[in-house]
Amino acid sequence: MIRQATWCAPLLVALLLSSCTGRDSDETLLVMAAASLTDAFGEIGVAFEAANPDIEVRLNLAGSGALREQIVQGAPADVFASASAQTVQALVSAGLALSPTDFASNELRIAVPTGNPGGVVGIEDLANSELLIGLCGAQVPCGQFARQALEQAGIDASVDTNEGDVRALLGKIEAGELDAGIVYASDIAASDDVDEILLPPTFGVAITYPITILSESPNPDAAGAFVAFVLSVEGQAILHAYGFDPS
């Protein structure tokens, strides 16, 4: 079973799901991954461990910006998979990460609770102040991409909440606390409690996921093997099953 590691730094605490396992491994691989990769990397980690029984994978899942800050502040990690090329490039420029490789792509969708109680029909409805609208915060990729799409559409969204990562936003939509929000297509695919509304193709935003080995990785060989697995036919099939497209 994949363990999800917890790391604390001054003024910043990584909020992680917890699990317990009795797995006895020779190496522990610490993988930081964007929140939108939660389900796909959970399964990839299990499959990687099955193929590499001497390596245990621990996942740290959060917004890409928060993970970048953890790395900058010295959090131990081997691999970083981000929802933003810009986020990874900042680490490369600082000498904290090796050259990244794109491994997946995604698209934006409007998510509404099942049955669409707010009657949302398109992106223009996000400007309706009578609806409860949520976005990811501007500091994380899903929020940055959503704002790009809204700007392209000429929409001034009436935003009631800005969430720290896309899974937090999705959870509020699933619970019916919001009438609509902009998430990734992969998040729609992972949920049975939301419906999707497509954005007009003319408002498309290119979303590419890069993966990199961190410069201070204590397990560079295992990190390289994990990256290779993500890029493999099996890894790519898992990503596709969770709604991701090839890069």
* CATH number, position 83: 3.40.190.10
Comparing CA positions, the residue from 41, 32, 36 lying closest to residue 14 is 32
Q: Are residues 116 and 73 in the same domain?
A: no
- Which segments within the chain are labelled E, that is strand? 8-9, 12-13, 27-34, 55-62, 79-81, 101-106, 108-113, 133-136, 161-163, 180-184, 194-197, 207-213
Q: Are residues 54 and 35 in the same domain?
A: yes
- Residue 71 clears pLDDT 60, i.e. is over it: yes
Give mean pLDDT, residues 225-230. Answer: 98
* 135 domain-assigned: yes
Cα distances (Å, whole numbers) of residue 172 to 13, 64, 168, 233: 22, 20, 7, 34
Give mean pLDDT, residues 87-105. Answer: 97
Q: Are residues 139 and 163 in the same domain?
A: yes
* 154 domain-assigned: yes
Q: Are residues 199 and 220 in the same domain?
A: no
Q: Are residues 98 and 219 in the same domain?
A: yes
Write the CB contacts of 111 (distance below 8 Å, at least 6 apart in sequence). Answer: 170, 173, 180, 181, 182, 183, 187, 188, 191, 194, 195, 196, 197
Q: Are residues 159 and 231 in the same domain?
A: no
Q: Are residues 149 and 27 in the same domain?
A: no
Q: What is the pLDDT of residue 25?
A: 60
* 1 domain-assigned: no
Q: How confident is the model at residue 10 (pLDDT cuts 50, 70, 90)?
A: very low
* 246 domain-assigned: no
Give mean pLDDT, residues 51-58. Answer: 97
Comparing CA positions, the residue from 63, 46, 42, 38 lying closest to residue 135 is 63
pTM, rounded to two decimals: 0.84
Q: Are residues 125 and 167 in the same domain?
A: yes
* 172 domain-assigned: yes
Q: What is the pLDDT of residue 11?
A: 30
* 92 domain-assigned: yes
Q: Are residues 194 and 220 in the same domain?
A: no
Q: Are residues 136 and 183 in the same domain?
A: yes
Q: How confident is the model at residue 247 (pLDDT cuts 50, 70, 90)?
A: confident
Q: Are residues 95 and 14 in the same domain?
A: yes
Q: Is 61 helix (H, G, I), strand (E, B) or coil?
A: strand
- Residue 61 CA to residue 67 CA, distance in Å, equals 8
* 2 domain-assigned: no
Q: Are residues 235 and 193 in the same domain?
A: no
- Residue 12 clears pLDDT 50, i.e. is over it: no
Domain range holding 189? 108-203
- For the chain, the residue count is 247
Query: Kind of pairing, strands 207-213 and 101-106?
Result: antiparallel
Q: How many domains are there within the chain?
A: 2
* 247 domain-assigned: no
